[in-house]
């Protein structure tokens, strides 16, 4: 069952364990004492990466110690995806490029098509059930290819399968498993040895680097983007480079280097203008629409709320996000989280969060930032109607209510 301690409650316990006062913690983390006091009481959401990273650094603990590890609730949509994790872990850790676990495999073209289909699959349970077998079988082709061309096709498909394993694991809170998948992708990219596959692997590595190494992550993202840029000659190259620029913008934002983040967002927008605005089909969903989604996400990370955040969100064409329900749900949730920071926009925030949950319940009910926001809203809820709706969402996410 879910550990019922909120992030605020864990923060208080860890602060006292370290023998620190609120004044000391606030001063060293660069946050206000009043904010931390409200967070410890559950009245402010600790949902920004920069805040969590700063607090973990000062307390000398991992972010997992602060935010909590993945747990199960009694809600099937929240709990069921976790049942697929052992098989994903086995596929990533038992196969090697010289010794596959499976002794036979479907034809390579069929597996390549299956990887594409899984990448566009929006249901975490279905992804988790189908991905391990595909990884197993691609290793068969990688170990005993029909020819050199087939070998490269199998390896390229493995990178795509590892990418899906990275983000499925991250969505469910298994950062260690996401890191393993990223390292497997780097292993394969080293064999393929092309700028684009190296860029793909770098993107995955950046998103799974320890949260205590944000400066290194930013440097890695900028270096990878600079290394790939001279070799971009087609749409795929543009899309991979675009995702690296967005990763750099994210890391810069978490480090409060907002001017640098704006630089990389501008670079991403220029690249997106050179490729189709097709989040459903492009690598990493990179597109003008997706750049807009990232702008909302980074605005939320910066602490934007209310009208300012809604103005950023207006630029996003939600219709184009429909094929990527996970990305769509994240966009809706980011707007809802931002709106939840202002007392006068609580009802609007609830509408955005409920829309996000309706689009991708498995993803949203496993989202730490959304869970933290719902908990803070619940603690502040004053009217019975809002309280009932919040309590329903809280129950589905395992939030004490």
* 54/158 same-domain check: no
- The rounded distance, in Å, linking the Cα atoms of 97 and 187 is 9
- Average pLDDT for residues 6-32, to the nearest whole number? 92
Residues 99, 184 within the same domain: yes
Question: 60 and 74 share a domain?
Answer: no
The whole domain housing 5 covers 1-68
d(CA 234, CA 319): 26
Residue ending a domain, among 68, 90, 113, is 68
> Is position 263 within any domain?
no
For the stretch 242-285, pLDDT in tens is 999 999 999 999 999 999 999 999 999 999 999 999 999 999 99
Which pLDDT value is given to residue 383? 46
DSSP 200-246: HHHHHHHHHS-GGGHHHHHHHHHHHHHHHGGG--SHHHHHHHHHHHH
> Is residue 82 located within the same domain as residue 20?
no
Beta-carbon count within 10 A of 198 CB: 19
The secondary structure of residue 159, as a DSSP letter, is: H
pLDDT at 81 over 80: yes
- Please report which confidence band the pLDDT of residue 401 belongs to, taking 50, 70 and 90 as the band edges: low
pLDDT at 71: 65
**Is residue 163 one of the residues assigned to a domain?**
yes
Our measurement of the distance from residue 261's CA atom to the centroid of its chain's CA atoms, rounded to an integer in Å, reads: 18
Residue 271 placed within a domain? no
Would you say 273 and 291 are in contact if contact means Cβ atoms under 8 Å apart? no
Average pLDDT over residues 190-218: 95
For 292-343, write each residue's pLDDT tens digit: 999 999 999 999 999 999 999 999 999 999 999 999 999 999 999 999 999 8
Q: Do 130 and 186 belong to one domain?
A: yes
Q: How many CA atoms lie within 13 A of 302 on its CB side?
A: 22
Query: Do 80 and 177 lie in a common domain?
Result: yes
Per the structure block, which two tokens stand in for 381?
A: 């809820």
Residues 33 and 48 in one domain: yes
Residues 118 and 176 in one domain: yes
Residues 16 and 114 in one domain: no
């Amino acid at each position: 069952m879910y550990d019922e301690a909120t992030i605020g409650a864990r923060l208080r316990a860890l602060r006292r364990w370290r023998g620190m006062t609120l004044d000391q913690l606030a001063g060293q983390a660069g946050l206000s004492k009043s904010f931390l006091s409200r967070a410890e009481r559950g009245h402010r959401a600790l949902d920004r990466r920069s805040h969590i990273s700063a607090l973990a650094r000062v307390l000398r603990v991992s972010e997992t110690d602060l935010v909590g590890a993945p747990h199960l609730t009694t809600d099937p949509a929240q709990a069921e995806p976790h049942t697929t994790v052992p098989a994903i872990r086995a596929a990533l850790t038992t196969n090697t490029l010289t010794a596959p676990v499976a002794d036979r495999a479907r034809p390579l073209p069929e597996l390549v098509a299956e990887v594409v289909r899984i990448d566009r699959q929006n249901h975490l349970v279905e992804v988790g059930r189908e991905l391990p077998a595909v990884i197993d079988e691609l290793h068969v082709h990688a170990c005993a290819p029909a020819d050199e061309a087939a070998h490269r096709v199998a390896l390229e498909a493995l990178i795509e399968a590892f990418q899906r394993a990275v983000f499925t694991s991250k969505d469910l809170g298994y950062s260690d498993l996401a890191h393993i998948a990223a390292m497997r992708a780097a292993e394969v990219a080293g064999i393929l040895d092309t700028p684009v596959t190296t860029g793909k692997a770098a993107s995955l590595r950046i998103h799974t680097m320890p949260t205590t190494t944000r400066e290194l992550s930013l440097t890695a993202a900028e270096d990878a983007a600079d290394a790939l840029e001279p070799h971009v000659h087609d749409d795929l190259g543009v899309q991979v480079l675009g995702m690296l620029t967005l990763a750099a913008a994210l890391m810069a934002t978490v480090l409060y280097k907002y001017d640098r983040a704006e630089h990389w967002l501008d670079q991403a927008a220029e690249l997106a203008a050179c490729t189709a605005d097709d989040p459903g089909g492009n690598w990493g969903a990179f597109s003008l629409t997706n750049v807009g989604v990232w702008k909302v996400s980074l605005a939320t990370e910066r602490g934007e709320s209310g009208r300012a955040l809604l103005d950023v969100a207006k630029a996003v064409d939600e219709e184009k996000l429909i094929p990527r329900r996970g990305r769509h749900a994240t966009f809706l949730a980011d707007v809802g989280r931002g709106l939840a920071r202002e007392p006068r926009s609580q009802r609007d925030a609830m509408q955005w969060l409920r829309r996000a949950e309706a689009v991708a319940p498995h993803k949203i009910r496993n989202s730490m930032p959304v869970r933290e926001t719902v908990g803070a809203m619940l603690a502040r809820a004053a009217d019975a109607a809002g309280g009932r709706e919040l309590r329903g969402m809280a129950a589905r996410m395992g939030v004490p209510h």
